Structure 1
Amino acid sequence: MGTFDFAAAMEKLKAALKPERYEHSLGVMETAGEMAARFGMDVEQARVAGILHDCAKNIAQEEAYQLCDKYGVALDEVSRQSFGLVHQYLGAALARAEYGIEDEEILSAIRCHTTGKADMGPLDKVLYLADFTEPNRDKEPFTGLAELRALCKTDLDAAMRYALEISIKSIVDRGRMMHMDTVHAWNWFLTKKR
């Protein structure tokens, strides 16, 4: 990928996001970069995905749907019913349209950082896990955070299985709809384990 202007992106994001969401994005950027370095991946690519992953998070629902229409982002019924999922799809479109990202691996990682998906690539996994484990998560820790962080240091696939288990349990416990991409991710990682 070409040189990314982190300073310009961070300035734009700071204006677009709530302060706690901006801090979270910085944490994800750093955590994704550290994980990429640990596993011999492209650190800048991971940091770009990390800083941009929630670029659509604080957009109001009506505006988000208008932007989805504008950028041709198709939303399935579960995403429409669970608005919290929309930002991953719209975020990938905005990363391309407003931040000039053409790297398909970065766009894929942003597009699946909340639900996961089958056949996740290394950057998809790193962003999903960095979003789950970045340092600001200590403010509202969840059961299994320490164990997940430990797995993130040694085995991305084992960490993904554990993160998906935590996520699925949370979705079920809260009586929420589960996106089929999450189901497909879970099944894919179970099959991959064998």
Structure 2
Amino acid sequence: MDYKQAVDKLSHTLSPKRFSHSLGVSRTAAELAARFGENIEKARLAGLLHDCARGIPSNNLLQMAESFDIVMNDVERCQPVLLHAPLGACLAQKEYGVDDPHILRAIALHTTGGRDMSTLDKIIYVADFIEPGRDFPRADKLRSLALQDLDAGLLACFDQSIHYVIDQNLLIHPATIEGRNYLLLQK
């Protein structure tokens, strides 16, 4: 399936707001890829499909994840919305014909991040935060930072995510902590 076909199919499976967000992430990912020497088409497609499982109701996510043999931890069982990322990678492969493991990994990591992220993984994680439709406090600062230095932008996005999760009194996914710590240890 080519990009245009994926856009058409996705437009019928996501809400208009989520679809607009996905288009914004796709454009932002392509811009970051061009800036940081990553394959633009891979970034564009991963950005488009990153939330392809986001329209699945939370009460179905656990069951679907089990049907795809996705290994879940306690945080994901308590907060099934986090499963939309690894489940999205499965759906990108099954429903959209994506067979590139780099694209699938970037989709799978876009919500929690993780240890030793590739440039594409970082781009999709960051693009999800900074696409033009995002208007949370500090969004403009994150955009500016990410366009200058991808790792600094990623670190700031990890921090933003952790602060948000704490403010919402939710569980922090261990992959987010591991990704943040790994990034800091590499500096």
Task: State the partner residue of 2:130.
Answer: 133
Number of positions where the alignment pairs a residue of Structure 1 with one of Structure 2: 187
Question: Which of 178, 188, 191 is equivalent to 2:185?
Answer: 191
Residue 104 (structure 1) shift: 1.0
Q: TM-score under structure 1 normalisation?
A: 0.92
Task: State the partner residue of 1:151.
Answer: 145
Question: CA offsets per residue over residues 149-168 of structure 1, 9 Å max, x none?
Answer: 11111111111111111111
Contact 1:73 1:93 (8 Å CA) reproduced: no
CA RMSD after TM alignment: 1.1
Note if 1:70 corresponds to 2:64.
Answer: no
Task: State the partner residue of 1:104.
Answer: 101
Q: Structure 1 runs of 4+ off > 2 angstroms?
A: 61-67
For 2:177, give the aligned amino acid.
V
Alignment of 1:88-99 (within 5 A): 88-99=85-96
Task: State the partner residue of 1:171.
Answer: 165
Residue 8 (structure 1) shift: 1.3
| Unmatched runs of 5 consecutive residues or more in structure 2 | none
Question: Which of 8, 31, 40 is equivalent to 1:11?
Answer: 8
Question: CA offsets per residue over residues 63-113 of structure 1, 9 Å max, x none?
Answer: 333322222222211111112201001001111111111111111111110
Residue 174 (structure 1) shift: 1.4
Query: Sequence identity, in percent?
Result: 43
Larger deviation: 143-152 or 41-50? 143-152
| Unmatched runs of 5 consecutive residues or more in structure 1 | none
Q: Distance in 1 between matches of 2:139 and 2:59?
A: 34
Note if 1:181 corresponds to 2:175.
Answer: yes
Contact 2:165 2:172 (8 Å CA) reproduced: yes
Contact 2:61 2:81 (8 Å CA) reproduced: no
Note if 1:122 corresponds to 2:119.
Answer: yes
Contact 1:148 1:162 (8 Å CA) reproduced: yes
